[in-house]
Structure 1
């Protein structure tokens, strides 16, 4: 009597269960601000000063007193230039009926309450005489003045714990004098593929490939995705389709890694050894997830290490990594918001084959602002992931007509 198959698990339920097992790493490492791009903060960053530290000019021009300019314009009287203030220097108090030549970033002298751009002034300077300027427009109070603290106030949290740092974040940290940042340590990930059919590029020339063998593409994109997510990756290569070899690889990988990630061998065939090998050393849940591509998925524990097994078909492996492994690794690093942003876009294609599973169709934006669909959506056609620039998230049982509005997840949201 056959055992009935478990129902397919919805993606949202699988992701929620997976994230529930992702206890954030606690170890902190202090890293140069130069080297922290893409890493995750382990502590809040609090500013010890205000930025800017004092009022300064946002333009090259002249620092003025508004009342003096108003008075001078009635009689078209030039005002004397009595000082020159460059960035990094400090001016003196501005006297009545005088202006200060000032440059971008230079502090506003006491008494000045506006800056006039040099383009709105005529410089008058006779030989041997002090310089004067004729100001051709009446500035508003505070014009072209950047106020002290308008960017950052002292004591403010400028970057928050769990925040994934961007180039702009690094600049902001530097602006308050931070040269070392407290970061969650990199997740240590062991990666290997299973399958006697796999061959590494460079080991065998294409014309010498034996029937039934294929080049190992998954190893390359999975490693690249892990590195983009800030992981410290140990590449264990290709493990033969032997139970003993799979057990040995898992046992070795579990010693010094937070996650073991495999590709292939998570089905239930006679040559799929991941399930019994993991169960020999730890615990395993083998899921059939209601997504297309990417139905087979495994997760569990090998001793103290997390284990995730991805399907072997390249697009299935690619998509399940983006939808499940990526948020899991971000949560391990303490990131709270791990869901990618999606946009509403218009389908410039039809999809008449509704599936009972949630589908992720490879598509790309066109010049008309809509989405084109790659013609072959097979789980083995990796070309679709290169040609496309995102995934159409199509709910179960739904067809798509030309002109329908669909949910589109750009790869830019998923590939880093």
Structure 2
């Protein structure tokens, strides 16, 4: 029996292959999209400001624009000026005449000649709608520069605002709009062919007969691909080599990655292994639990383009774990994101068994202990087993148990990464 490959070696090969695919096919990996479609995408090029922020010097308060020097010689109890203008947001007022004030709204351009704003709350004028007063009395002496937002004080033209590799959320999209952009260059969403195999599979909702099970893996993988920034092309194959290869070849030209579930072990009817070994895919044992039997490599489409293939085991928990550990980082490379996942410390809330000589990625439910520590427990009393599909839905994270640990004990400290909330 061949020795097991450690997770880092296997993952390193997967990521190196993904980086090579991106380098060889730059035209397939990037696209320009309107800002309204950019949220959730990964930025592919640095963004520089085309316009300053703020675009003009404006008021940060509702109040009165003045020239501070005009009041320098007035006594504190008689700081009053005639009002000679009313500047609303979106309007441009006339220049400020010496010895006068103009009423101004938040965000409105500062009139030429003004150098300060006195908030309406610091005057004898009532806030709210209504005409500007003929004269205003100030209850505080203005200071030049106060309550002004100066042109370009946040960002100047040419400043870098966003860096390539940034996951674009609402704030990042808004920042791009604020500096003059209407579209961004982003990584194209990888198209992933998901193939589930097995004569025992029936469609979700169909009542399975004896020896049949619902095909939950297709929905699981489609959802995981979407969460990782990809889109799914789905296929299902019988346990027949010709049928499997026909499904594969029909979709290869339009996809960037193939992920299969099931049919990778050493049994007599392992259709994925029997099909893909003839195409140069390596099948191996990885020192992890769940997810020991796996396959990986690339296959050529009709044009000769190489497409990565990740063959996962068929048990639903194995699919879930191996996707998070191996496929999600691969998709991160294809989308230009960081493949590393941030981990955090958890404390085992109870005992659970581990396999000898293999790193365990245990689905766990998280909670807060009385001392603030994060407690982790498998969602099922029997621990982390690869066929416990229903209780998998309760998992918040995967706890990482080193291969040399012969069993988790209550109070053990482990690293984990989130798969739902909790840093996911």
Residue pair 2:192, 2:255 contacting (<8 A) in 1 also: yes
**CA drift at 1:338:** 1.7
**Residues 86 and 196 of structure 1: CA distance in aligned 2, closer, same or farther (over 3 Å):** same
For 1:240 and 1:405, how far apart are their aligned partners in 2? 44
Correspondent of 1:21 among 11, 17, 20: 17
Q: Could you list the per-position Cα deviations for residues 220-272 of structure 1 after superposition, in whole angstroms to 9, with x for gaps in the alignment?
A: 02112223333342111x21112222232223232332211111111111111
Shift of 1:102: 1.7
Post-superposition CA distance 1:277-335 (Å, at most 9, x none): 1122x221223222222222211122122111111111110111112111111212333
Distance 1:195 1:415, change over 3 A: farther
1:124–1:131 Cα contact (<8 Å) kept: no
- Structure 2 unaligned segments of length 5 or more: list them: 301-305
Structure-2 separation of matches of 1:222 and 1:341:
22
Map of 1:13-412 to 2, 5 A cutoff? Answer: 13-22=9-18, 23-24=21-22, 25-27=25-27, 28-68=30-70, 72=74, 74-123=76-125, 130-138=133-141, 141-202=144-205, 204-205=206-207, 209-236=208-235, 238-280=236-278, 282-303=279-300, 304-335=306-337, 337-345=338-346, 347=347, 349-351=349-351, 353-355=353-355, 356-366=357-367, 368=369, 369=372, 370-376=374-380, 377-398=384-405, 402-403=410-411, 405-411=413-419
Q: Which secondary structure state, in structure 2, belongs to the residue aligned with residue 271 of structure 1? A: coil
- Contact 1:124-1:132 at 8 Å conserved across structures: no
Cα drift, residue 154 of structure 1: 0.9
Deviation, 1:141, is 4.9
1:229–1:121 distance in 2 versus 1, CA, 3 Å: same
**Are residues 123 and 189 of structure 1, via their aligned partners in 2, closer, same or farther at CA, if it must alter by over 3 Å?**
same
Describe the SS at the equivalent of 1:268: coil
> Does the CA-based 8 Å contact 2:280-2:299 persist in structure 1?
yes
- Size of the aligned set, in residue pairs, is 402
Counterpart CA distance in 1 for 2:415 and 2:112 is 56
1:11 aligns with 2:7: yes
State the TM-score, normalizing by the size of structure 2. 0.84
Contact 1:72 1:79 in 2 (8 A): no
1:81-132, CA deviations, whole angstroms, 9 ceiling, x for partnerless residues? 322211111233334443332222212223333333323332179xx99533
The root-mean-square deviation of aligned C-alpha atoms, in Å, is 2.9
1:138–1:218 distance in 2 versus 1, CA, 3 Å: farther
Q: 1:197 to 1:75 in 2, by over 3 A?
A: same
Contact 2:283 2:293 in 1 (8 A): yes
For structure 1, the 5+ residue unaligned runs are none
Q: 1:348 to 1:321 in 2, by over 3 A?
A: closer
Distance 2:395 2:58 in 1: 47
Match of residue 303 from structure 2: none
TM-score by length of 1: 0.86
